[in-house]
Amino acid sequence: MEPLNDLIQISQFYGKDSRYVIAGGGNTSYKNSEKLWVKASGYSLAAITEEGFAVLDRRKLSVISEKTYPADAALREEEVKNDLAAACITKNRRPSVETSMHNAISASYVVHLHPTAVNALMCSQNAEKSAAKIFGSQALYIPYIDPGYVLFKEVETRIKRYRAEHGVEPEVILLQNHGIFVGADSVKKVKSVYDEALGKIEAAIVTPLPTEEKKEKESEESHSACSSGVSVQRVVPAIRMMLSRQGLKTLKVASNALVSYFCSSEENFEKASRPFSPDIIVYCKSSYIYISGGSEEEILCAAEKKIGDYEKRYGYTPKVILIKGAGLVAVGDTAAGCDVILDVFQDMMKIAFLAQSFGGGHPMTQEQVDFIDAWEVESYRRKISAGANAGRAENKIIVVTGAAQGFGEGIARCLVKEGANVVVADLNEAAGAQAVQQLNALAKSNRAVFVKANVADVDSVDSLITATVKNFGGLDIFISNAGILRAGGLEDMTPESFELVTKINYSAYFYCTRAASRVMKLQNRYSEASYGDIIQINSKSGLRGSKANFAYAGGKFGGVGLTQSFALELAPFRIKVNAICPGNFYEGPLWSDPASGLFVQYLKAGKVPGAKTVEDVREFYMSQVPMKKGTSPEDVAKAVLYAVEQTCETGQAIPVTGGQVMLS
C-alpha cells in the first residue's frame, strides 16, 4: 500500500533526525475515509515499520468527538481511553493519545513533532505574539491546555473556526509548551511546510547556541578533570553510590559549552530549572539538583545532603544533577534510560537558551506539572521507556581490556548478555567499533562502548577510567585481559620482545589495578554493601612453566604474585582481586591465526618435538586436555561471574583448563 509506505518513509525521515525528534517522541498518521493509521505507543519513529502503527476505525473514532464525557478529569480520561481502544482494530497496539487530534485534521498525512527550534518559540514568554509575527495567518496557535480530551476538543474547535474564517485547513498548528502539527495530502508537502516553518523560526533567533566544546588537557590530572579542576573520577562514582541505595543506578556525564553555560551559576541554572513540556517530565521529572562547585569534598558533601533532601521530598531519586565544573549528570535505572535523560535534558537546555530570543523561557506551572506526573498515559510511556535487563551482571559497569577480538571479545559478549554495561578497551579501533556494534545488537537496556586504550601507557589507562565514568558513572569490575605472546627459547628471544611481553602482560596489570581501584575505593566509601572486583585473565602458563615461552609464562607467574599482593592491600576497601587461568582457546586468533597464531609460532620454535605441520601441533596440545576441548570465552566468563558473585574469596588463581592443570 503506497500511502502506508509513504507514512513509514516520512516517519523514519524525521525520527532519525535529532533536530526534530528526541527520545523517540512525536507521532505520525495517515488516513483515508475509513481508517486511520497512527504511531502506537512504545514504537520509535526512527525505525518504525508497518507493525508500529495502530489502525483505527474512523467511524468508531468519531464517537470521541460527538460524545459528552464526565466533568471529573480522571473519569473522563478513562472513558476516552476505553473509547479509543474500542475504535482500535489492532488490539495489541496502543494508539497515541493524540489520535483524535490527527483525526480532526482533514489532511491525509499528519506529522506531529517537537523540534528544538519550534519549542524554543512555543516555550517562550512571547510565544503567541512572536508566532503571529513569524507565521501570520499560516499557523493556528493553541495556548497550553493539559493533554488529552480537553486539548483535543479545543484544537477541534479552533480548526473549525479557522476553516470558517480562512476557507482552508491550517497548514501549521502550534501548541504552546508542546510542539507542532503539520498536515498535508502528500509527504512532499509535509516536508516543504516543515522546512519553511523551521527556516522562519531560525531566522528569528537572535542568539545562536554555544557550540565550542570544552578542551581537556592531556595531563593525568586533567584527563579526569574539567577545566575548573573538578575531577569526574573523584566525584561521579561517589554520587552514583549515593543514588544507588535502592538499586544500582547508571549515570552519564555531558560536558560541553551549552552545559557549561547552565552549570556556571545559579542564575543560569534557574533558566532550565523547570520543565517546558510533558516529554521532559516523563523522562527527567520536574525538579533538578544544582551543585555550585567547590572542592571535590565540598561537592560530595553538598550532593549527599541535596540527594537526601530530594528523596525525602519526592520519594524517588533525581534524574538530573548539574555540577559546576563537572557538567550534566543523567541518572538512569539503565544505560538506555540514561541516554534518553541526557538527550531530553540537553534539548531542554537548548530550548531554554534559544527562548531568550523570544522574551525568555516560559516553563510549565506546578499545576500543569502535577497533571502530567499523575496522568495514566504518561505513566504508561514512562514504563515503556524504562526497559529492563535480566542477568547475573545487571547494571554492573565492566571494563574488559583487549576486548576488540578473541578471548576478550568473547568475555565481553557473555557479560553483555548478562545485563552488564561494558567498555571495550583496545588499541584496534576498527575491530573495537565492530565489536561494540555487535555487542549492542545483543544488549537490552544495557550498553557497550569502545574506548581506545594502551594498557602499557599510564596516561592512556587513566583516560580509559575517565571515559568509563563519563559513560556509565563508575566502575564495578575491571578485567585485565589484554596480553601478547612472543614464543621463543633463550637463544631466540630478543631483549626487546621480552620487555614488550613483560610490559603488557605484567606491568600493565599494575597500571590498570592502580587506576581502577581508586574509583572502586571511592564507590565503596559511599556504599557499605558494595564490592569491587579486579580480575586478571591470566593463563595456565601462570600456574606451570612453559617451554620456549618463558617471557609469557614469567609475566603470567608474576601476575599471580601481583594478584595475591593486590588482594591483601585492597581487601580492607572491599575490593576483591582474583586471576582466572584459562587453558587454550584453540578457536581464537591467538592460536589459530594462520600467519602469526600460536600453532604457527610453536611449529617454527620447535616447541613440539617431531611436529611437521600445524595440525601436528594442534593434536599434541589437545591430547593433554582430559576434557578433550579447548577453553571457550563462555567458560572463562562463568569463572568471572563466580569470582564476582562470591564475597569471601580473593587472591585466588582459578584454573579453567579442562583438567590440563590441576591444583594440589
Task: Give 336-392 as a 3 state SS string.
Answer: HHHHHHHHHHHHHHHHHHHHHHHCCECCCCHHHHHHHHHCHHHHHHHHHHHCCCCCC
CA atoms in the 13 A half-sphere facing the CB of 555: 27
Q: Does pLDDT of 390 surpass 80?
A: no
Residue 186, all three cell numbers:
502528500
Of residues 258, 256, 262, the one with CA closest to residue 288: 262
Q: Are 460 and 489 in contact (CB under 8 A)?
A: no
- For residue 552, indicate whether it is catalytic: yes
pLDDT value at residue 68: 94
pLDDT value at residue 375: 65
- Strand 250-254, strand 179-184: pairing: unpaired
CB proximity list for 570: less than 8 A, separation 6 or greater: 517, 520, 521, 532, 534, 576, 577, 650
Beta strands of 556-638 (E only): which ranges?
A: 575-582
Count of CB atoms situated within 10 Å of the CB of 544: 11
List the single range of 50-54, 273-277, 548-552 with lowest mean pLDDT.
548-552
pLDDT value at residue 211: 81
For residue 571, the SS3 value is helix
pLDDT value at residue 376: 44
Count of CB atoms situated within 10 Å of the CB of 157: 12
- Chain position carrying cell 582457546: 585
Q: Is 145 exposed, middle or buried (0-12, 13-18, 19+ CB in 10 A)?
A: middle
pLDDT value at residue 317: 96
Count of CB atoms situated within 10 Å of the CB of 634: 12
pLDDT value at residue 387: 54
Q: Does pLDDT of 446 surpass 60?
A: yes
User: Amino acid identity of 661?
Assistant: V
Can you tell me the mean pLDDT for 23-35?
92
Q: Does pLDDT of 529 surpass 80?
A: yes
Residue 480, all three cell numbers:
585485565
The domain spans of the chain are 2-204, 220-386, 397-584+625-656
**3-state DSSP helix/strand/coil % of the chain, to nearest 5:** 50, 15, 35
For residue 12, the SS3 value is helix
Can you tell me the mean pLDDT for 432-446?
97
pLDDT value at residue 229: 64
For 176-214, what is each residue's pLDDT tens digit?
999 999 999 999 999 999 999 999 999 999 999 998 654
CA dist., res. 251 & res. 285, Å (int): 16
Count of CB atoms situated within 10 Å of the CB of 420: 30
For 565-612, what is each residue's pLDDT tens digit?
999 999 999 999 999 999 988 877 778 888 888 889 889 989 899 999
Residues recorded for the chain? 664
Can you tell me the mean pLDDT for 123-143?
96
CA dist., res. 211 & res. 205, Å (int): 15
For 210-221, what is each residue's pLDDT tens digit?
986 544 433 333
Q: Does pLDDT of 663 surpass 90?
A: no
CA dist., res. 175 & res. 139, Å (int): 10
Q: Which residues of 73-110 are buried (b: 16+ CB within 10 A; e: fewer)?
A: beebbebbbebbeebbeeeebbbbbbbbbbbbbebbbb
pLDDT class of 1 with cuts at 50, 70, 90 = confident
- Chain position carrying cell 595475591: 564
CATH class of 220-386: alpha beta
Of residues 505, 589, 511, the one with CA closest to residue 539: 505
pLDDT value at residue 631: 92
Can you tell me the mean pLDDT for 410-422?
97
For residue 655, the SS3 value is strand
Q: Does pLDDT of 235 surpass 90?
A: yes
Using a pLDDT cut of 90, give the percent of the chain over it: 76
- CATH fold, domain 2-204, is L-fuculose-1-phosphate Aldolase (3.40.225)
Catalytic residue among 261, 283, 552, 621: 552
pLDDT class of 389 with cuts at 50, 70, 90 = low
pLDDT value at residue 406: 87
Q: Does pLDDT of 613 surpass 90?
A: yes
Please tell me if the domain spanning 220-386 has the same topology as the one spanning 397-584+625-656.
no
pLDDT value at residue 444: 94
Q: Does pLDDT of 560 surpass 90?
A: yes
Can you tell me the mean pLDDT for 544-573?
90
Q: pTM, whole model, 2 decimals?
A: 0.89
- Strand 327-332, strand 172-175: pairing: unpaired
CA dist., res. 338 & res. 331, Å (int): 6
CA dist., res. 490 & res. 484, Å (int): 18
pLDDT value at residue 272: 97
For 481-526, what is each residue's pLDDT tens digit?
988 878 778 888 888 888 888 888 899 999 999 999 999 999 999 9
pLDDT value at residue 630: 86
Q: Where are the alpha helices (DSSP H) in 443-587?
A: 458-472, 495-502, 508-525, 550-570
Can you identify the CATH homologous superfamily of domain 397-584+625-656?
NAD(P)-binding Rossmann-like Domain (3.40.50.720)
Can you tell me the mean pLDDT for 131-152?
93
Q: Are 530 and 574 in contact (CB under 8 A)?
A: yes
CA dist., res. 238 & res. 217, Å (int): 23
Instruction: Compute and round to an integer the Cα radius of gyration of the chain.
Output: 29
List the single range of 109-118, 250-259, 429-438, 586-595 with lowest mean pLDDT.
586-595
- What average pLDDT does the chain have? 91
pLDDT class of 227 with cuts at 50, 70, 90 = very low
